[in-house]
């Protein structure tokens, strides 16, 4: 499922605590892992290692750095993750960022050594900082380019050869660093992707074997994490990357044994409706759904299962029931997991932090308590300000509690066309970018074939990323610049009578439009 990145203007910077803690005892002695049946183990001792992770995203977007570094330091973020009780982070990245010379939206004041660093150097810093806090790292190839996710593991711009080559490069880069425990080969294969169908151009199971073996040729100690597909070989359909039914007959078998971990993604009804959410016995029916799609892999001790993404804003009764049932399922079976997300700026789920990048979401952490135990970690103070500003481009500066977002944030505009109504909201802004949310509701039963929404955005230069739609800017960089976004994939397919679809985008602009006026065109 497409991750909806909602960039939020930071408002508070913590100054609590005084020093960076000494590295925990296990940080300097981190050991390689292996699989044994349904368990992940420390290779040297056989002790069970249960992955308890959260995703800190941003390196897969045009920022090419973990989000929030405009508001907190890398050490502050990692201290939060360790303090919440996590032992691993899942680090999404885009291949495009691996060759970029610089990242952006990294505060010089808060992260002086990272503001001008390359994305690869920032990745090195994430790994080093994670190690200092006793946290392991899973590298997640989330996107080929920073503009969008892809159904398959390759695109016209990023070939399979490039995909494998980049994985080999990263495996070599961290070959002697057991902090990096695994590689999540490709995020959420879907659509045309099949499992074991024999068509080299779309057979994800076969591609995972090719990439997995290539990675292990470089570093035989890594775990190879393989997500599912959307459509199973038996005709069943579920979440993007969530269908692992094909493993029963065609598992991923690599040259190095005891390295494969299967990783489905699971989400609640607030993300996208599914038939099982309407069963009379919901949520008691959920374990059966999970067992059929992927749980059997662990139950039959074929391989470990790591639930690579799950998350919710925890605002509906259905979502609360779903999360409680999933947490119980994870606990009872001793599964590994990675919560989406640490960031507050995931548009569909929110995160474990509030929008200030400091305050913890107590309700979500309480819901995770059966599988997550917080620990005491000293929170580092922000670095002292540099004597003179040195950033190569404007960087967000820490604001004080009580500051309010720009007056344009929260501005909205509505329009309707051909039985579809839409509301555009400027949901957040920060230096050089702003975020919009677009909610569409269909009142007619006639199928929506296409829609386009547009608005004036003086000075806009392009789209950073979008979900549920594709965006372009005409007359970029001028006073006449205009954004036009057209629905794609679920942004169109889910727009049935009475249904509400929420899509969005991040735009590159010095400031949001003061009073956006929405235009909408719908084709049925």
pLDDT digits (tens, 9 = 90+) for 409-457: 778 899 999 999 999 998 877 778 888 889 899 987 788 999 999 999 9
Determine the pLDDT at residue 495.
81
Q: Please list the helix, strand and coil fractions of the chain in percent, rounded to the nearest 5, in that order.
A: 20, 25, 55
Determine the pLDDT at residue 383.
67
**Res. 191 pLDDT band, cuts 50 70 90:** very high
- The pLDDT of residue 521 is above 60: yes
Per-domain boundaries in the chain: 33-371, 412-523
How does pLDDT run across 70-89, given as a tens digit for each residue?
A: 999 999 999 999 999 999 99
Determine the pLDDT at residue 469.
86
Cα 39 to Cα 43, 193, 266, 300, 497, distances in angstroms: 11, 28, 20, 12, 45
97 close to 60: Cβ distance less than 8 angstroms: yes
Q: Which of 96, 227, 309, 502 is catalytic?
A: 309
H or E stretch at 159: none
**Res. 256 pLDDT band, cuts 50 70 90:** very high
How does pLDDT run across 481-494, given as a tens digit for each residue?
A: 999 999 987 778 77
206 close to 152: Cβ distance less than 8 angstroms: no
Among 270-274, 388-392, 459-463, whose mean pLDDT is lowest? 388-392
**Res. 408 pLDDT band, cuts 50 70 90:** low
Reply yes or no on whether 291 is catalytic: no
**CATH number among 1.10.630.10, 2.130.10.10, 2.60.40.290, 2.40.30.200, domain 412-523:** 2.60.40.290
* b (16+ CB within 10 A) / e for 46-79: eeebbbbbbbbbbbbbbbbbbbbbbbbbbbbbbb
Q: Which of 188, 227, 489, 502 is catalytic?
A: 188
Reply yes or no on whether 489 is catalytic: no
123 close to 91: Cβ distance less than 8 angstroms: yes
Cα 264 to Cα 82, 111, 227, 338, 434, distances in angstroms: 24, 34, 5, 10, 32
* Statement: the pTM of the whole predicted model exceeds 0.85: no
Q: Beta-carbon neighbour count of residue 33 at 10 Å? A: 24
pLDDT, averaged across the chain = 89
Q: What is the mean pLDDT of residues 268-273?
A: 89
How does pLDDT run across 312-371, given as a tens digit for each residue?
A: 999 999 999 999 999 999 999 999 999 999 999 888 899 999 989 999 999 999 999 999
**At a CB cut-off of 8 Å and minimum separation 6, what does 186 contact?**
141, 153, 163, 204, 207, 208, 211, 227
Determine the pLDDT at residue 29.
54
Determine the pLDDT at residue 406.
53
DSSP 292: I
CA–CA dist 318, 286 (Å, integer):
12
H or E stretch at 100: none
Yes or no: domain 33-371 corresponds to CATH 3.40.50.720: no
């Amino acid at each position: 499922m497409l991750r909806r990145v909602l960039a939020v203007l930071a408002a508070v910077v913590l100054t609590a605590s005084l020093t960076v803690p000494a590295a925990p005892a296990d940080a300097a002695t981190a050991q390689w892992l292996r699989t044994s049946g349904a368990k992940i183990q420390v290779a040297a001792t056989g002790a069970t290692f249960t992955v308890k992770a959260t995703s800190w995203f941003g390196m897969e977007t045009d920022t090419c750095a973990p989000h929030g570094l405009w508001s907190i330091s890398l050490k502050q973020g990692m201290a939060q993750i360790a303090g919440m009780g996590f032992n691993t982070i899942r680090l999404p990245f885009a291949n495009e960022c691996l060759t970029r010379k610089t990242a952006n939206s990294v505060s010089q004041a808060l992260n002086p050594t990272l503001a001008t660093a390359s994305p690869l150097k920032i990745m090195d810093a994430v790994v080093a900082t994670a190690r200092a806090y006793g946290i392991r790292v899973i590298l997640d190839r989330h996107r080929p380019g920073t503009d969008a996710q892809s159904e398959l593991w390759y695109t016209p711009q990023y070939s399979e050869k490039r995909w494998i080559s980049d994985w080999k490069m990263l495996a070599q880069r961290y070959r002697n660093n057991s902090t990096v425990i695994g590689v999540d080969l490709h995020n959420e294969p879907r659509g045309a992707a099949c499992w074991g169908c024999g068509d080299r151009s779309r057979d994800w199971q076969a591609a995972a074997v090719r990439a997995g073996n290539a990675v292990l040729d470089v570093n035989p100690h890594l775990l190879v994490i393989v997500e599912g597909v959307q459509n199973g070989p038996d005709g069943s359909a579920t979440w993007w990357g969530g269908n692992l039914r094909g493993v029963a007959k065609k598992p991923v078998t690599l040259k190095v044994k005891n390295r494969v971990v299967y990783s489905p993604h699971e989400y609640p009804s607030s993300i996208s409706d599914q038939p099982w959410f309407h069963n009379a016995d919901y949520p008691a029916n959920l374990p059966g759904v999970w067992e059929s799609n992927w749980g059997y892999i662990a139950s039959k001790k074929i391989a470990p299962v790591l639930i690579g993404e799950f998350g919710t804003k925890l605002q509906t009764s259905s979502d609360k029931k779903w999360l409680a049932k999933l947490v119980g399922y994870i606990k009872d079976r001793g599964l590994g997991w990675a919560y989406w997300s640490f960031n507050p700026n995931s548009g569909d789920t929110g995160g474990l932090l509030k929008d200030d990048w400091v305050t913890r979401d107590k309700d979500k952490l309480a819901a995770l308590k059966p599988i997550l135990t917080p620990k005491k970690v000293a929170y580092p103070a922000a670095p002292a300000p540099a004597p003179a500003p040195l950033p190569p481009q404007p960087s967000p500066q820490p604001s004080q509690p009580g500051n309010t977002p720009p007056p344009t944030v929260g501005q909205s505009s509505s329009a309707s066309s051909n039985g579809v109504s839409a509301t555009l909201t400027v949901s957040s802004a920060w230096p050089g970018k702003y975020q919009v949310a677009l909610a569409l509701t269909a009142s007619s039963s006639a199928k929506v074939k296409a829609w386009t929404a547009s608005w004036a955005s003086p000075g806009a230069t392009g789209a950073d990323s979008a979900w549920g739609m594709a965006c372009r800017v005409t007359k970029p960089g001028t006073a006449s610049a205009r954004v036009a976004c057209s629905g794609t994939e679920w942004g169109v397919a889910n727009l049935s009578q009475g249904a509400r679809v929420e899509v969005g985008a991040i735009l590159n602009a010095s400031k949001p439009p003061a009073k956006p006026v929405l235009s909408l065109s719908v084709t049925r």
